[in-house]
Structures are given as structure tokens and as C-alpha cells.
Structure 1
């Protein structure tokens, strides 16, 4: 087994950290013990993400493959998975919505400042999930009527830090997306509930649950008329990025365990072959060609390394492993669709 230990320019924590702290100056709170008011983790690192080119892909300056390689390097570091997750969700989902909107050209709307090195720093988040949603858009209840938004979003990644939320709504068979300012006050008159929370996995990342009642939304805040087909593309991009995070997270283990080393190398080779020839913004059709993304063999080798009975037990070692256990409705649908449309030549199932 052979691994390079050469420092990467995308190892931001080791590159920018101080001798007594891996965090930039100005980071508030103890990152080891997340708190509801601890909402500056992603914001504090955005200047370094800008300068290291982590937003170059969404700005059309590099390939999707290069973006994934940066995420992998970042995920090799302690707390790097948390920062990589925040970055990849904003780029893939919020950036993907903006790219599909009438403001698709970088710089054509102030929302693009989230990906440009502008002051003050801007953070975008996307709200899709609702109670009982289970990945099915037809179950959405959020709606805009008479320029007023009513609805609830239960899990908005980066929501605790976000300045604007891209809110997916429903009207008949369409799913319009509006950008909505994230009210800073918890006692805003149009807020029924607002809760910032953290999960056991990637605990530095803030999430938001929020319910609005007749919240004013201007007609010009409409970004996308129908999120339906776009949503599948953005979920596939998230899964592609989770492959990158897995490649990064398993690097240190690969020097300890031959099986992990071999399966990780196979996954790295697969990712390069799959993504390297993509030009511009990957479409849903191109991304579907890679389904199922072959992460299971590597996850199984990690499970074996720790002497565990099943991959589900990995979260007892480190909750971050939970990121790589994909069980949502859309993921199951994609796998079933691939099995229906693909012969039995697939020999490495995810």
C-alpha cells in the first residue's frame, strides 16, 4: 500500500489554522460542543473557500470533477467533512437552483454574491424537506397565495447561518421555488416556529426547522417555476459529492487496511472515469448513467476493519459515517429505476 502525504492546497484546516486552534479568528463558540447560537462555522471559513477556488465550478471556471477532488482533499482532515458538506450543499443545491433560474449568469443577481468574494458574506440554503415528505414532492404543503408564503421546512442544511432560503412550494402539479429572506428574529410576527439544531453527524453544520405563516414574498422572488426534474439532478449531485467525501474520509484508514486501500483506489478510479469527461454543468441524464454509485464495497471494508457486524454500526465509531448510508425515498427510486433499465452486467452494486 502506498499513499502520498504531500500537503494539499485544499487542506484548509492545516493551511489556515493557528497553532492553538484549527479555526480562523472570530469563530464563536466551542466547535466540539455545538450550541443553537453557534452559527458561524461555515461563514467563518467562506473567505478561505473563496480564495482556494471551491466555488470555481458554479462560476463556470472549472469542471465538476475538479470540484469533487477539492471536496475529497478537504474531507481528509479533522472537521473537514463538516465543512465539505456545508460547501457541497450550497454549491450543488442552492447553486444548482440559481443556475437553473432566470438569473443563471454569475453576477446577474445579488444572490450570486454567495459564490463571489464579496463583503458582507452571503450564505444560501435550500428548503425542500417537510414533515411527512419522505422525498415525495407531491406531498409538499408549502404554498404562496396572494404574495404570501405559508409552510414549514423541517431540515434546511446550513439554515442556521443562511441569509436566504430557496423555498420549494407546490401549486397544482408544479413546484415553484422562491427565495425568501431568513428572518433573524425568532419572534418575527410571521414565524410560527424557528429552531436551529445540529445532528450527531457533522455536528459543526447548522440546520434549521422553520414554519412561516403568510410571510410576504414578492413575485420577483420566484426563481424556478418547477423544481420537479431539477430536484432529481440536484440529489444526484449531492450523492456524487458524498462519494467524494467518502474518498477523503477513508484516506487515513487506507494506509492501515489493505482492503480499504484497494476498494478506495477502485472508487477513485471509477469517479475519475465517470466525471472527468463531463463538460460544464452535469445534467440529470449524465448523472443517472453512474447510478448506482459504487460505494458499498468500500463501506463494507471499513466495517470489516472495525470488526462490526453491519455498516449501520459504523456510526458508533464516528457518527459522520451515517452520511454514507443512503436510504431516502429518492435514492431508492433511482436504484430501482436503474435496475429496471440496466442488464445484469452490473457487478458492483451500491
Structure 2
């Protein structure tokens, strides 16, 4: 499918890697940078770009490991630091020297927080972000369930999903094909993408760098339930609480305005996510669960809310919008309203 009217495609050599991006709006507009999440690309924002008006220079890059950006390895021991530094290098290469508005979906929530801890930003929008304590294997207070952060990292990926990504499976013949994973986990269960748009997004996800350097990353074994621990490479390890933490956003000075939007029916980032080993163990899907005390479910949304409440109590301005019935991507399944909320926030920022 060709790009939507008003959306441009470019490839830019930065001092870190060659990055592909989509862009819209005037070159002299306020920079608004849209960072996608895990198993997605810039095209998951494409439908929004013509709606964002002439005030903003909208930039949506394919992040390291995804899309048409150079397939370089991700150093998971930096959390999402590689993504943050890649974004900064892209803006330098584009000659943008003013603080950007940053939007981070899911995984990229940690990336925009990392960016803001080292460089000035005009605002931060967290779109169904990963918890400020990473993904999996932590208690409500963010402390690890096990000393080696068992239950998180590359080994947490479903091996059939990985195999079907590697095989470039674009079908809907299995619950583990990316087409059906997208339908089940990305959007509201009542939302259906137009078939031609779904084909585009499936093809985009199938560009993922699959393996130890990308998705899911390398794996390590653990003597603690469920027997897997984070490695040091690739995206799921970067999301492990061993390396991923943005709760210290509270300490930013000065504090940029923050918008948090979240789908109430999000199954990926949830207080009871079916992808969380605490939930899987309690349901009997993974045998040997050591019980609620031994491995509780991670209350991800509660953790986000508590950290952003602390940010507000410390003097930051926080706007919260929960999208009733939306899934992990309210910018898609509630695109009109989400765009209105974003533009109203940016106008006040």
C-alpha cells in the first residue's frame, strides 16, 4: 500500500545507524516524535499523521530491530537506552535542535523516559507504556520476585510466535501468527482493522529482526520458577526489570508536562496481563507456580499510576486519559478521540 497523502518516507544516516522514518507537516514545525512499540513500526502511526495539522513536524522512525531501519543489535543491558540514543542521533542528523514532544507507545514509554533523563524535551506522552519497573517478575513495589529476575526477558516469548515470525507467516491459520496476535492483543476485541490496512501492518511486523540480537533476544536459565531469566541482548531482555526502569522520572528537574493515555481493556500492560507469569501460573497454564507470595501478578497499571502520581506530587503536570473499551493501542482503535486528546495536551504544553 502506498503512503497516505501528506506522509513522506525517508532514510537517514545517523552517527549510530541508518534509520527509516515517516514524516509529515512543515519542516519548521515543532518536532513531534512518535516512537512505536515492540513488534510494530512507524506505520502503526501513519493514519494519525495527516490529522496532526500544520503546527508540528511529525517524525515516526522505525526503531532499532524493526521495520526498514538498519538491523543492528540491541544492547539490552542499557534497557531502552539504545532506542533513546538512536532517537537523539536521528534528530541531530535532521538538524533539529529544539526540544521535541515525544510520544512512546508500550516499549517506547521507557525509551522516551530515558531520553528525557539526558536531554531536554517539550513534553512526554506515555501511550499504554511498559511499567516503570519493567515487564515481568517484580512485586507491586518494583522489587524482583527472584534475585536473577526470573520470569522476564527473552525466554518469556512464546516459541511458536517467534517461529512464525521467522517463517514470515502472514496467515490467520494459527492463534500464534502475528495477524491473530495483533487481533487478540493490540486492539479492542470489538475493533477490526480494514483488511488492506491490516495486511500492511502484518507485513511491517514481519520485517522484525528475529533472533538473539532482536526479538525476542537471547535467553538464560534460572533455578527459580519459571526457569528462565533475562539475557543481555534483544528487545524482551531490554524490557526486563533487570535493565528497564523509569520510576526515577520523578526526579527530573525541570519536569516536562506528561500525558498518560491507556486502554481500559489493554491485555498487554495490565494489572492482570495474560502474558505475565504470575497470571499464567495462577491459571495453571504454567505448572509449578509457587503461589501468590512466591510469584504474584505484576500490577502494571497501578505501578504507572503511582509513579505518575508521585511525579505530580513533586511538581510535575500530569494529564491522564483512560480510553474505555480500548485495547493496547487506543491510537488505533479510538484514533479520532486519541488524536483530539493528544492535540489538546500539546496545545497546553
Please report the TM-score for the alignment, with normalisation by the length of structure 2: 0.28
Larger Rg: 1
Greater helix share, structure number: 1
Please report the TM-score for the alignment, with normalisation by the length of structure 1: 0.28
